[in-house]
Chains A and B, each alone.
Chain A
Amino acid sequence: MKPVNTMTEARRLETASLTLAHGHTPVVRELDVELPPHRVTAIVGPNGCGKSTLLSGLARLLAPREGAVLLNGRELASISTREVARTVGLLPQSATAPDGLTVRDLVRYGRQPHQGLLRQWSKADAEAVEAALDAADLRELADRRLETLSGGQRQRAWIAMAVAQDTEILMLDEPTSALDIGHQLEVLEMVRGLAARGRTVVLVLHDLTTACRYADHMLALSDGRIVAQGAPAEIMTPDLVRALYGVESTILTDPVHGTPVVCPTALAVAPEPASVTSEAVPAAT
């Protein structure tokens, strides 16, 4: 895996009073967040809180209603999509591929933003694809068709595609949903490895304990606003869990890794007044 050049100043992705909306309904409101470079940031929060919407906004899939997403201080919307694609990689939720593609075919697509009509395959492309296959531990499976792989392997192949894109910032929308814990570990360990090699990773995650375990930085969202942000060990409290999900909980410490483990105990009796509106706290499952 080619390490991202850390000599140059890290690309910073931040939002300035960002409001995102689906139609007329604002989903994310006046958000100011910054993604710490070379770290794993997890976006957590209840269903419908705007996690995926925020990620879509950060990845320019959704244009800001107000405010802006800034890449190194430049407005993301003013940069060509192709140029952004060389800095920001994205794996959307439940992505599907055309039939018959092999793992290597899929990973090759990650090189698209670096290629052109008359620059279709360079040494850098070849190396990036091989490096991405290595990073995802997929070299032995490189010529297998995607549909013959297990869920975790397929997900790693998709991440490998985003890795081959060789971007400093990588965004993954619920990369572990629908995976069992073994496959979740496969994917999340891979994510850690990427951050260790200098990438900035942003993940949307459902599970708080997983997020605490694998993220350096956490953004807790509720009703489109930031409720808390910071290192998981610092911000993860029973109060936060109650504010996010309306659930009483005990926070334990992972005996192996020392990270917080969220142990839900009961539904909160009444929604916490601090949590904006009543509809912001849907019944937890």
Chain B
Amino acid sequence: MKTPPKTSPKTPTETPTETLTGMPMGTPSVDVPAPRPPRESVAPPVPAAPPGTFRLATGGLSVLVPLRPLLAGAVLALLLVAVGTVCLAVGDIAVAPLDALRAAVLGSGSPRDLLVVEELRMPRIEAGITVGAALGVAGCLMQTLSGNRLATPDTVGLNNGATAFAVAGIVSSSTSLLPSATALTGAATAAVLTLALSGGAGQRGYRFLVVGLGVGAVFGAVTNLILSRARIDAANAAFAWTVGTLNSRSQTAVTVLEVGLLVCLPLAVVLGRRLNVLRFSDAVATGLGVRVRPLRVAVLLTSVVCAGLAVAVAGPLGMIALAAPEAARRLTGPGPVPVLTSALAGAVFTLLADLIGRTVMAPLEIPVGLVTAVVGGPYLLWLLLTTRTRRTP
């Protein structure tokens, strides 16, 4: 009855890759007592950190830093600085990149440079970075939550809800009712509607996605209805809110978004460890000691807040929430859920799209939302055509 286990069958063996250990406090590696008769060699020493990670430890505390995501993050951060510098320098009034950087970072330079950089371009870049980061995080969380790469704030109706409310606000009142406030209300309304109709975050979030599509379609129709019945000047004013732009942002909304990010980003990172487990089935996650329902609710709320605040700044900026996490996942590999990498990728994409929109047909400006749609559509197709079929994520 208790025969020794069969040896594993006919598979080519790979030598275990050398582990990358980077322990400042070098804990001596320990031999595992071999539980069974060793085959051809003694058990190798226990690696201090799993392959591809870097362990920081002091006392009883330890943090595991995955190397590839770290590298991806560093590359994206550098890219962000580069794109940001170009954004500061390029425009109707050209500023030398180094001067622009100096004006932005040190606040020194000629008065003209300072005016252009600090007053005109910095706020816009700030808005672009925060909006992109928020959308990236929101998309990453929602995709992980539902186990579906198509589940993003745009697809579950948040963007359309925000647009419908903002447009309704602009069209219905001559006084400038703060569009970003109405947009935020709209995003929240769409989220609540979707949540209520789909009966909570639900199993695997599939129902949530489908209901979100429906809610989004209804809000989209409402927007079109309002626009078709509005006076032409009101419709014109409302147009910006139907495409997504960084041009007519409100500084208050940007500040609110920044506060939101300050709360949501650390929260997303803290949730991130358990979020990794959420990619398995609920049963596996529970077996590993994760309370699935509260976690789902927390992740969903974080995602909705990020997306709602971002939409309140820039309008329904499409595709970022879809593309950024996807790019992040490709860069970081199959390790942890790339929350921060998605934020960085989102920021880079948004800045880049805005830069293209500002320069390609200068002095005419293309709203960033149109750029992301034009670039994002083919990207989505490419994504669908190039990824191999996968099992349930």
Contact = CB atoms under 8 A, between A and B. Distances in A.
A82 B46 CA distance: 26
B283 A141 contact: no
Interface string B73-102: 000000000000000000000000000000
A270 interface: no
Given A99-B391, A186-B6, A60 B286 contact: yes
Nearest to A258: B1
Interface in A122-149: 122-123, 126-127, 129-131, 134-135, 137-144, 147, 149
B43 A134 contact: yes
B61 A138 contact: no
Q: Which of B9, B286, B287, B392 has the most chain A CB atoms inside 10 A of its CB?
A: B287
Given A112-B290, A130-B32, A192-B2, 9 more contacts: A82-B289, A89-B287, A95-B284, A104-B50, A104-B51, A120-B63, A182-B6, A192-B1, A214-B1
8 contacts: A59-B287, A61-B282, A81-B291, A99-B334, A127-B32, A143-B51, A144-B11, A192-B1
Contact of A123 (B11, B27, B64): B27
B276 interface: yes
A92 B280 CA distance: 11
Interface string B270-296: 100110110111111011111100000
Nearest to B144: A98
Interface of A: 1, 56, 59-61, 81-86, 88-92, 95-101, 104-105, 108-110, 112-113, 115, 117-123, 126-127, 129-131, 134-135, 137-144, 147, 149-150, 152-153, 156, 162, 165, 182, 185-186, 189-190, 192-193, 196-197, 213-214, 257, 259
Contacts of A140: 8, 11, 13-14, 16
A118 B63 contact: yes
Given A1-B35, A85-B289, A119-B60, A100 B334 contact: yes
A126 B35 CA distance: 16
Given A92-B287, A123-B46, A143-B17, A134 B8 contact: no
Sorted from nearest, which 4 A-B pairs have the closest CB atoms?
A: A85-B289, A100-B334, A90-B287, A113-B289
B112 interface: no
Interface of B: 1-9, 11, 13-14, 16-17, 27, 30, 32, 34-36, 43, 46-51, 53, 55, 57, 60-64, 270, 273-274, 276-277, 279-284, 286-291, 333-335, 390-393
Contact of B289 (A61, A112, A259): A112
A247 B35 CA distance: 43
Contacts of A105: 50, 334-335
Contact of B287 (A91, A137, A182): A91
B48 A95 contact: no
B347 to A, nearest CB: 25
Contact of B288 (A85, A122, A138, A141): A85
B1 A257 contact: yes
Contact of A141 (B2, B11, B291): B11
Nearest to B279: A98
Contacts of A104: 50-51
A186 B280 CA distance: 24
A143 B35 contact: no
Contact of B1 (A108, A129, A182, A259): A259
Q: Pick the most buried of B47, B62, B270, B282: most chain A CB atoms within 10 A of its CB.
A: B62
Contacts of B5: 137, 186, 189-190, 193
B62 A122 contact: yes
Contacts of A82: 289-290
A182 B9 contact: yes
A184 to B, nearest CB: 11
